[in-house]
Structure 1
Amino acid sequence: MPPPARSIFDPRVERFLIADEGEVVVDEVAKHWAAIVKPVLLLVASVPLLMLSFVVPPQAWWLPAVLAIGLAVWSMWRILQAQMDRFVITNMRVFRVHGILSQHIATMPLSRILDISLHRPVLGRIFNYGHFVFESAAQIQGLSEIRYVGSPNERDLTIQRVIARAGLRGPVNRQTGAPMGGPMPPATAGAGTRPSPQVAPASEERPEAPGPNDTMPIPRL
């Protein structure tokens, strides 16, 4: 069966996988359509702006024409940027691929993910998108915030499942909040016990002080 056809906007993330180490894609996230709403509206607005060049005085026809062309080029560039942006979840890491002429790749191993915050604005709750904020041991440029992620709740659960399956986080005790089955922290390993005093060995003899009736030997000259 032939592979599915790919568009020219597909960054082909399979090229960046560590295939010989068994890395596979768990989820590939493209930008939600809400990310291109603003560029599309500006692209539509460039059409009437271009029409103004036919009604303004002949000496100033070029001004609305240049503005309309610049606005249209900027809008199409932003749309293409959103189409080429991918956030990828694998069984070993998360990484982001974005860029048109020059491509940028930001990678974060699963072991460095400390916390994931999900922000869903009002429109995001209506149209089912949100923004992810990653907190890691070392903040990586390009992966600190992933915007316009579709189905954010499902993607958050996917990342949590991958981290759990990798053995990086175990089940948590609901009463103490500590991981279950792990080693006892050093600060609480000896809680509630007092150190026993040091006792000298029984075989050790201590010197006795001389009594009042004892005589001191006189050395001979």
Structure 2
Amino acid sequence: MGFNDVMVVRDKSRSRTIRHYLMADEEQVIAVRRHPAALLRPVAEVFGGLILAGVLSRYFGGGILTLIVWFGWLYLVGRLIWRVLTWSVEFFIVTERRLMYIQGLIARRVGMIPLKKVTDIKLERPIQGQFLDYGTFIMESAGDDQAFREVTFMPYPEQLYFDISSMIFPSLDEAGD
């Protein structure tokens, strides 16, 4: 199986954003967003905050304390919106030459590891990740400093792990091509 057989583009809606970070002669092989489960905690905080704000409003019966409680809940809603927007522009990209992790809504951070420098890749799947189908990739590379070491909440973890591993460590008949 060659690089062209590994085409696993998961998110074509942001292909222009992704192309912005590719070199002119570089081909995108894999591009994925983090799994939506990355947003579960902020969503739970908003719903838990709503319940707590409702209970405290009833307890305080109005006034300045109730207003403070509801402003606290609005803060949680604003933080959820921020995290959703940030999640929507984060990508993990694999090309035939490198791994990239693009993060940040306002201040963009692009971490890059050349495929030739990756010495090991590990997949970890917590119990909740097994149920929701996500995992964490941990990369080891030759050299002291790497742009990123782990990417959490990766969707399609087994398939991505296999695809990325086959690019990093090609089989003997591919290496001879």
Question: TM-score scaled by structure 2?
Answer: 0.79
The one-character-per-residue Cα deviations of 1:159-186 (angstroms, maximum 9, x if unpaired) are 1222345xxxx63xxxxxxxx99xxxxx
Q: Describe the shift of the 1:6–1:129 C-alpha distance in structure 2 as closer, same or farther (beyond 3 A).
A: closer
SS across alignment from 1:18: coil
Kept in 2, the 8 Å contact 1:49–1:65? The answer is no
Contact 1:87–1:94 (CA<8 Å) still a contact in 2?
Answer: yes
Contact 1:40 1:79 in 2 (8 A): no
TM-score in terms of structure 1 length: 0.64
- Among 17, 25, 32, the alignment partner of 2:35 is 32
Match of 1:42 among 42, 45, 60: 45
**Paired residue for 1:82?**
87
Matched, 1:63 2:68: yes
How many Å separate the matches in 1 of 2:141 and 2:149? Answer: 8
Verify the 8 A CA contact 1:32 1:148 in the aligned structure 2: yes
The code of the aligned residue for 1:30 comes to R
Structure number with higher helix proportion: 2
CA distance 1:61–1:17, shift in 2 (3 Å): same
The alignment status of 1:140 with 2:143, answered yes or no, reads no
SS at match of 2:20: helix
Q: Deviations over 1:47-104 (max 9, x none)?
A: 3344457532424222202211111112222222222210000011110111011111
One-letter code aligned to 1:33 = P
Aligned residues: 162
Q: Which residue of 2 aligns with 1:216?
A: none
Distance 1:43 1:135, change over 3 A: same
Q: 1:36 to 1:11 in 2, by over 3 A?
A: farther
Q: Which has the higher strand share?
A: 2
Is there any run of 5+ residues in structure 1 with no aligned partner, and where?
Answer: 172-179, 182-221
2:101 matched to 1:118?
no
Distance 1:161 1:40, change over 3 A: same
Question: Is residue 169 of structure 2 the alignment partner of residue 160 of structure 1?
Answer: no
**Structure 2 residues without counterparts, runs of 5 or longer:** 1-10
Tell me if structure 2 keeps the 8 A contact 1:46–1:72: no
Q: Secondary structure at the match of 2:46?
A: helix
1:15 alignment partner in structure 2: 20
Question: What SS does structure 2 have at the residue aligned with 1:95?
Answer: strand
- What is the identity, as a one-letter code, of the residue corresponding to 1:133? I
Identity of aligned residues (%): 24
Q: Which amino acid aligns with 1:36?
A: L
Q: CA deviation at 1:15?
A: 0.6
Any conservation in 2 of the 1:96–1:107 contact (CA below 8 Å)? yes
Cα distance 1:106–1:38, how it changes in 2: closer, same or farther (>3 A)? same
